[in-house]
Amino acid sequence: MAAAYLDPNLNHTPSSSTKTHLSSGMERSPGAMERVLKVFHYFESNSEPTTWASIIRHGDATDVWGIIQKIVDSHKVKNVACYGLRLSHLQSEEVHWLHPDMGVSNVREKFELSHAPEEWKYELRIRYLPKGFLNQFTEDKPTLNFFYQQVKNDYMVEIADQVDQEIALKLGCLEIRRSYWEMRGNALDKKSNYEVLEKDVGLKRFFPKSLLDSVKAKNLRKMIQQTFRQYANLNREESILKFFEILSPVYRFDKECFKCALGSSWIISVELAIGPEEGISYLTDKGSNLTHLADFHQVQTIQYSTSEDKDRKGVLQMKIAGAPEPLTVTAPSLTIAENMADLIDGYCRLVNGATQSFIIRPQKEGERALPSIPKLANNEKQGIRSHTVSVSETDDYAEIIDEEDTYTMPSKSYGIDEARDYEIQRERIELGRCIGEGQFGDVHQGVYVTPENPAMAVAIKTCKNCTSDSVREKFLQEALTMRQFDHPHIVKLIGVITENPVWIIMELCTLGELRSFLQVRKYNLDLASLILYAYQLSTALAYLESKRFVHRDIAARNVLVSSTDCVKLGDFGLSRYMEDSTYYKASKGKLPIKWMAPESINFRRFTSASDVWMFGVCMWEILMHGIKPFQGVKNNDVIGRIENGERLPMPPNCPPTLYSLMTKCWAYDPSRRPRFTELKAQLNTILEEEKLQQEERMRMESRRQVTVSWDSGGSDEAPPKPSRPGYPSPRSSEGFYPSPQHMVQPNHYQDSGSLDLRGMGQVLPAHLMEERLIRQQQEMEEDQRWLEKEERFLKPDVRLSRGSIDREDGSLQGPASNQHIYQPVGKPDHSAPPKKPPRPGAPSHLGSLASLNSPVDSYNEGVKIQPQEISPPPTANLDRSNDKVYENVTGLVKAVIEMSSRIQPAPPEEYVPMVKEVGLALRTLLATVDETIPVLPTSTHREIEMAQKLLNSDLAELINKMKLAQQYVMTSLQQEYKKQMLTAAHALAVDAKNLLDVIDQARLKSIGQSRPH
């Protein structure tokens, strides 16, 4: 047997010549016109089934078996002995099964004498089936899929128009289920999904023409929908086996039948049946039962010849073990006798596990006198291959180009030779440290030395396993795509090195992937910067849209950050040119399900509209600072949620206009999604609006800081608390030590080490705080009532849809419409603004009780947020015996400590009891304070009441964070909200200490007033 190898220059043929290839079994190329052919097969790829084929170069010594083995080996087939090669004449019914020992060159010379080369079609098929072949094929997935495609094609061509309508419907729906196995059982009930199937894919792919012509379109749709639901729960393999089960009674695909005669002199006309279960049997008429003649293991030799009479019929003789005379069969022609001999010989070799043929025949044209060349060991093959440059140097090797999952570029046919246009010298590249991983290998930082720029920083993609030309070509495909683009927000190709090891050299974006950048810099990036990134990406994608490219993998991980105000779209490994088609259909392979549009998940259909959907998800990632979509949801469940109308939630601080634009990108019907040109214009408007608002906020903040009075008399008193949105800022603050969550602008405060804590007992004028706390008091009363409810009302809805948003009374609200839009994630209430978390690694200005300082891991990769320990201010030097306020403050702090120690490992259902304990401790404290107030000076009452309201506000914030932690259970946001629960609880404890200080100062004032002057 001669070996075979891949030739990349033949793998991609110009699209304009595709149709001519379909009808040609033999292809011609300059310099080797007689040695190039195309072998069609049923290994599934991304093109139409009629074009599944491999281009083959062969030499004079190449035999049929060598070609068969090379094709099936490239698909990792186990049952190699089941395959055979068939030669068919397209203008007639003439069929020849080519024996594995036949030489390919001799076969071509023999048959091209009778018909032109383009009239012949070579076809790889499964012909020899073992007993229980379906069970055996389930362990060999490539063979099972190949056999299914072969049988389905034969059914559609030969008998589909004659079968019963119900059977045709079932078989067609099973093929839909198998092809689009990720599609939900009720997906075809949606009009847009059915229209994709009907208009874009085509119903004729699944159902015979007779059915489509005889049933009205409306009735046909209902029939298909009803039948499809029957198979909604089947996976791909189950769909295949069910297909065989329904088809087998009407079409025997597991055996071949030949009309012939038994004997040579006294002839009986019969139908000879040959198959794995029947062995060699015959039928005398349709109503009779099979009569068994012999099993394959009984066959000892096979001979065929031409009869001597004028009809020149074919005669097949088999020597059967134990039989007194050979079994003789007379066929209508020698060709049929040869095909029968090849079939029986294949079964005999399969059953006996033999490689030697059982056919005994004289040497004839097209057949080899010597046995097949023994198989070479792997090292021998590699050695020969390394010295084989082209067919002209040796005729002993066949080069096979597998066309599975190939792709045609917009320009002329391309391969590695075209990449050489961008070839650069390896000596000019200095390879640096590894900065990431790609599909084919690592990505390194490096330097490209040129006369113009002796130290140009570049990124270098390497290919680990590019020893074969096919892998090398797939790796270089990204470079061939990138070289066509010139845009400020698309990563630019600098050059390639096509010799092993193969490298792609691109411009270096020094700040790395956008997702990691967003996670690390989340506290330094304002909203305008995030919108700017989305806008820049929209310009890049509008550019791709204008050039008729689809990216297919738009996600934050594939966007690179060149500078803090410039991002660039990269990773074009999945990009495809649309050519004259409106969509690209992907085949097998890994695809980013959670970013994909529903039509891409269901039908593997990719268009500019599906890119728009992915861009909407990418915008959501950006606004969420790099959090991946559908956290905690399995890939298989994503399409179900989308079909139910669920969408990703609105990110915190996201402008409503921007989220509205995202939801337009997520329209289920692709035709209703905006184009990238529209998105670019709308994002530009949103960006300009945000910049104006940002400038206005800065002006207001500047004015506020100028008017703030720090009337401290030269002492180191704490500054006033920053104002909350919608409330005036007090000019001075006396007597309050702000808790961590209320310190929105830490730069307004002195360093904690220099604070004079003795001044914390002074009194803040009450009338300046009253107005800003009125709304907090209302919220406190509502949350206090909520806390007393039963614990059962807070069952989290993991689907996160707006149809199940919790009401204040704790009950679940029913869906308001068919399409659920998620509620905003942690969207701040106007009366309780979100608290700014501490920056990782920055010095903290947050006060903390020493016992509350348990470190909490951030959900960001590699980022830890750990509150610093600052001792609380000392209490007044008073007698604490029978001091109920002091005891209850201590009790509240203990409840907070207990909750903090238990919150991390606790499941969501245990949050309510823990928060309830804190709430009850706070209620007891406030009741004690109410009892204490009457004995304190009247001038201090308002200050004490404001401190109480502040505690109620803290409790409301803790309850709000608990709700969010429960709502976003099983996502990375859950840990973030747990941390925010700890921060809120810590603030509650610190403000309880502040209340105690206020009461102590009131007591001291009361004592001072009672002393005689």
Contacts of 559 (CB under 8 A, 6+ apart): 513, 514, 515, 533, 537, 567, 568, 569, 570, 618
Strand pairing category for 4-5 and 398-402: parallel
C-beta of residue 918 within 8 angstroms of C-beta of residue 902: no
SS3 667: coil
Contacts of 992 (CB under 8 A, 6+ apart): 889, 892, 893, 922, 925, 951
Cis ω for the linkage preceding 501 (within 30 of 0)? yes
Q: What is the DSSP string of 102-159?
A: SBHHHHHHHHTTTS-GGGEEEEEEE----TTHHHHHTT-HHHHHHHHHHHHHHHHHHT
- HSE-up of residue 945 (Cα within 13 Å, Cβ side): 14
User: What is the DSSP-derived secondary structure letter of residue 467?
Assistant: -
CA-based angle 429:435:436, to the nearest 5? Answer: 115
Q: Which burial class, exposed, middle or buried, applies to 515 when counting CB atoms under 10 A from its CB (0-12, 13-18, 19+)?
A: buried
| Tokens 């804590």, residue located | 757
d(CA 407, CA 1009): 92
Please list, residue by residue across 975-997, b when 16 or more beta carbons sit within 10 angstroms of its beta carbon and e when fewer do.
bbbbbbbbbbbbbbbbbbbbbbb
Verify whether residue 756 is a known catalytic residue.
no
d(CA 402, CA 749): 70
C-beta pairs of 427-436 under 8 Å, 24+ apart in sequence? 429/458, 429/460, 429/497, 429/503, 429/505, 431/460, 435/459, 435/512, 436/512, 436/513
Provide Rg for the chain, Cα atoms: 39
Strand pairing category for 559-563 and 566-569: antiparallel
Whether residue 381 is annotated as binding a ligand: the answer is no
| Tokens 């001799």, residue located | 106
CA-based angle 194:197:203, to the nearest 5? Answer: 115
Q: Which one is catalytic: 342, 345, 402, 553? A: 553
Please list, residue by residue across 705-736, b when 16 or more beta carbons sit within 10 angstroms of its beta carbon and e when fewer do.
eeebeeebeeeebbbbbbebeeeebbebbbbb
Contacts of 424 (CB under 8 A, 6+ apart): 448, 494, 495, 496, 497, 505
Contacts of 192 (CB under 8 A, 6+ apart): 599, 668, 669, 670
Q: Of 865, 834, 864, 520, which is closest to residue 654 (Cα–Cα)?
A: 834
Strand pairing category for 256-262 and 442-448: unpaired
- HSE-up of residue 170 (Cα within 13 Å, Cβ side): 15
d(CA 736, CA 719): 9
CA distances from 252 to 141, 210, 244, 432 (A): 22, 21, 10, 63
CA distances from 825 to 623, 649, 654, 777, 958 (A): 11, 6, 10, 25, 16
**Residue 608 in tokens:** 């500019």
**β-sheet bridge partners, residue 272:** 258, 282
User: What is the DSSP-derived secondary structure letter of residue 375?
Assistant: P
CA distances from 32 to 360, 391, 395, 537 (A): 34, 8, 11, 48
CA distances from 856 to 744, 832, 996 (A): 21, 24, 29
Q: What are the binding residues for ATP?
A: 461
Tell me the catalytic residues. Answer: 553
